[in-house]
Structure 1
C-alpha cells in the first residue's frame, strides 16, 4: 500500500495563518518556526514508529487510538474506508503532531471522523504543547487546500488539554468554526492510594460487603481465578472475548464485535500488534477455567484504556463484570508504569463511574475548517438528520400502542 498523499505545506499555505483575513490578528511566528505538515496513509505512518514514540513521550495527554498498530489494523480490516493521517514536523525533523481521521463520504454530509478506528472513544490529536496552536492552524490550512477532502471534522475529544486551548484560540481568530454537539464526563482512575484504600473511599461499606458476599457465592460454584493474558497469549484470549460478548444481548442485537467481520478483524489485528509491543492485554475472571467476564486493556504513555468489557449474562446474578473491574482496578493501581486509567465509558453512568471517582471532561464537536454560511447550513442539516432516529422510534412506539388504545376506547364505550 502506498501513501494516500504526501503533502508538505507550502509557504503560501502557511502564509494564510501568518497573514489571515482582515480583522484577524496576524501570527508572525508560524513560518519563522519552520513547521512542515503532511498527509499520509497508515502504511507510511506505521514506518514512523520511532518518531511517534518520541512524540508520545513528549506529550502530557495520551491517545492509544492513534497508535500506528491500531490505525494500520483498522485500515487493513476495512480498506474501503480510507484513513487519513496528518503529521507535523519541526525544523529539526521531530514529529510534533499526529491526528488521524476516517474519510466518510456515505450519507448526505461528507466528513472526516475522529477517532479514525472503529469502536474507539477518543479522537483528540497528539501535539507537543508548545506547538499546539501552530500545528492546528497549519493542519486546517492543509485541509482547506486539499480539494479531495471534506472540510468538516466530526470528533470526540477531551476538553482539558492543549488541543482545546489551541482550538479555542483559532476559533476566536475566525480560522475555524466549532459546534459543540454534546458535553459529558467519564470515569478515570488517578490516585496514589492502593486498591483497598481507594475502594473504601469510592464504595460504601454496605456495597463492598455485598460484593464480597457475591464473590463468596460465586466461589461455591467452582474455582474462581483472575488471569491476565499478555504477549503470545493474547490472540487466543481475543477469540474467547469475542465469543463471550456474542453470547449476550449484543450478540442478539447484532452489535457484538463478532457480528461485524471488519470489527472482529480490527480487534484481532490491532490488539495482537499492541500485545506484541507490550501495550495490549486481556484480563479475565474464570470459573473452573472458563471465562465468565473479560476486559480488553490497551496502553499508551502510562495510560491504560479499559476499552471493552464482556461477561456471561447467565451468571449475571454474581456480578461477574463488577468482580472483574475490582480485580482490574487493583492490578492497575499496583502497576508502577500506569499513572492514569481511562474507563472509555460513553457517559458518566454505569459500573466504572461508581468504582472510579476521577472525571475527564469530553465533548462531541463539529469543526469547520472553512467557517461561514456553508458550515452553519451543514450543522443545521445534521441537526435535522439527528432527529430522524427519534422520530422513527416514536412512530414505532405509536404503532405498538395503537391496538392497546383501541381496546381501551372500546372498553370505555362499553362501560
Structure 2
C-alpha cells in the first residue's frame, strides 16, 4: 500500500520506465491513502472525473455506501500515486460470474478511473496485464463514461492490441456546453430555437416584473455550507421531496451532501429574486470542466420558469468569464433540460472489457436488457397515469 505522504510529489514523464507498484485496497485502505497524493492525481488525471475526488468517495463510504464492499487498484511510481481504479462487486445487473463494477451510486455518476496524464500508457498496460494474468478481476464494467474521453480511447486501443474483449452497452447522449467562436450571440441564435429564445426572454421579463433578479455564484468556505442547506431545503420542498428522492428524504443522503459538496470542489449558482434563491444549480469540478449533477427550483414560482431563467443566466455568465472551459450536464439519461441550452453532447455508455469474449458479450446484453425493461416499465406507468387522468370522474352527490 502507498504510504508516502509528501504533499506534491508527482513523478515526471521521464519516470515512465520506472517500476509501477500496484496495491489492491479495501475500503479502509482506500480511506488511508495520502490525501495530498489523491488530490494531486485528481487534478492531473488524463480524463477529469470529480466524482472520484477524494472528498466525494470518502463521504460516500461514510454515508450512503457505508458497509458496501468496495475495492481499488492503486498504481504508484516512485512512491507517488499515478492511477486509481475504484470498483465494487454490487451491481443492478445480475451476472453469473464475478464482475468489477466501477464505484457508483445515485450521486457518483462517472466510472472513469483516475490515471495520471503523464503515466497513462504505462498504467493502462499494467492494468490490462493484471486482468489477463489474474492479478485483478477478469471482467470490468465502467458505467456512465464518455466513449470519446482520452482514457477510453487509450484503453480501447490497448485492449485491441492484446486481443482482449471490449463491448459497450446502454448508450445515451449527455448535454455538454462549450464556447462558440461567435460568442453569446452566436450561441443564442444557433443553439436555441426561435421559440425557445422567445420563451426565455419572456420568462426573464416576467421575473423582472416580479422583483429584482440576480445570479449569485458561491464557492467560498464561509458561504457555501449555507447555500448547500438552502438547496437541500428547496429540493425537498418540491416533487423530489414528495417522491422520497430528495437528499433530505434520507439522513445518510443529506449527510453525504453536506460532507462532499465542500469548498475547493463544489459551487452553487443561484437565481435570486429579491435576494432569495428560487432556482439553484450545484456543480463540482477538479479541473476546467464543471459537472452539474443537481438542480432545484421553488415550485411556487413554477409559472415564471425559474429553472429556465437560471440556465439562461448561466449561459450568459459562461461566455462572460473564462473560469471554466466547459460544462457537463452530469445526467445519466437523455432528456435533461440542459439539452435545450447546450451546444454539444458526449456519447456516453457503459464500457465492458475482459479476457473472455462470451462473458463481455453476455454482460453487455444484460445491461441493455435491463435498460430496455426499465424503459418499458416507465412507459407503462406513464400510460396508466394518462388513463387515470383521462378517466371520467364519477358524479358526487351533495
Verify same fold: TM over 0.5.
yes
Q: CA deviation at 1:53?
A: 4.2
> Do the aligned residues in 2 keep the contact of 1:75 with 1:82 (CA within 8 Å)?
no
Q: CA deviation at 1:198?
A: 3.3
> Do the aligned residues in 2 keep the contact of 1:293 with 1:309 (CA within 8 Å)?
yes
Residue aligning to 1:358: 344
1:321 aligned residue (307, 332, 347): 307
Change (3 A) 1:292 1:131: same
Distance 1:379 1:187 in 2: 24
Q: CA deviation at 1:391?
A: 6.6
Change (3 A) 1:299 1:223: same
> Do the aligned residues in 2 keep the contact of 1:185 with 1:360 (CA within 8 Å)?
yes
Change (3 A) 1:267 1:333: farther
Gaps of 5+ in 1: 1-5, 9-30, 404-415
Residue aligning to 1:224: 213
> Do the aligned residues in 1 keep the contact of 2:168 with 2:364 (CA within 8 Å)?
no
2:225 aligned residue (222, 226, 235): 235
**Bigger Rg over Cα:** 1
> Do the aligned residues in 2 keep the contact of 1:65 with 1:115 (CA within 8 Å)?
no
> Do the aligned residues in 2 keep the contact of 1:214 with 1:318 (CA within 8 Å)?
yes
1:121 is paired with a residue of what secondary structure?
A: coil
Q: CA deviation at 1:309?
A: 0.6
1:300 is paired with a residue of what secondary structure?
A: coil
2:331 is paired with a residue of what secondary structure?
A: coil
Residue aligning to 1:26: none
1:237 is paired with a residue of what secondary structure?
A: helix
> Do the aligned residues in 2 keep the contact of 1:70 with 1:117 (CA within 8 Å)?
no
Residue aligning to 1:125: 113
Note the 1:78-157 alignment, pairs <5 A. 78-90=65-77, 92-104=78-90, 108-109=94-95, 111-129=99-117, 131-142=119-130, 145=134, 151-157=139-145
Q: CA deviation at 1:256?
A: 2.2
> Do the aligned residues in 2 keep the contact of 1:194 with 1:334 (CA within 8 Å)?
no
**TM-score of the aligned structures, taking structure 2 as reference length:** 0.79
2:345 is paired with a residue of what secondary structure?
A: strand
Distance 2:115 2:80 in 1: 11
2:296 aligned residue (310, 313, 318): 310
Residue aligning to 1:212: 201
Change (3 A) 1:291 1:150: farther
Change (3 A) 1:264 1:114: farther
Residue aligning to 2:9: none
Change (3 A) 1:212 1:107: closer
Residue aligning to 2:317: 331
CA displacement 1:42-93 (0-9 Å, x = unmatched): 7645643333344345445311111111111111112111332332223x33
2:215 is paired with a residue of what secondary structure?
A: strand
Distance 2:192 2:369 in 1: 42
Q: CA deviation at 1:382?
A: 5.1
Distance 1:150 1:257 in 2: 36
CA displacement 1:330-357 (0-9 Å, x = unmatched): 3333343312221213345343122110
> Do the aligned residues in 1 keep the contact of 2:121 with 2:154 (CA within 8 Å)?
yes
CA-atom RMSD, angstroms? 3.6
Distance 1:198 1:395 in 2: 38
Residue aligning to 1:409: none
> Do the aligned residues in 2 keep the contact of 1:181 with 1:365 (CA within 8 Å)?
yes
> Do the aligned residues in 1 keep the contact of 2:59 with 2:260 (CA within 8 Å)?
yes
Residue aligning to 1:179: 167
Matched, 1:72 2:88: no
Distance 2:308 2:383 in 1: 37
Distance 2:385 2:347 in 1: 39
> Do the aligned residues in 1 keep the contact of 2:200 with 2:312 (CA within 8 Å)?
no
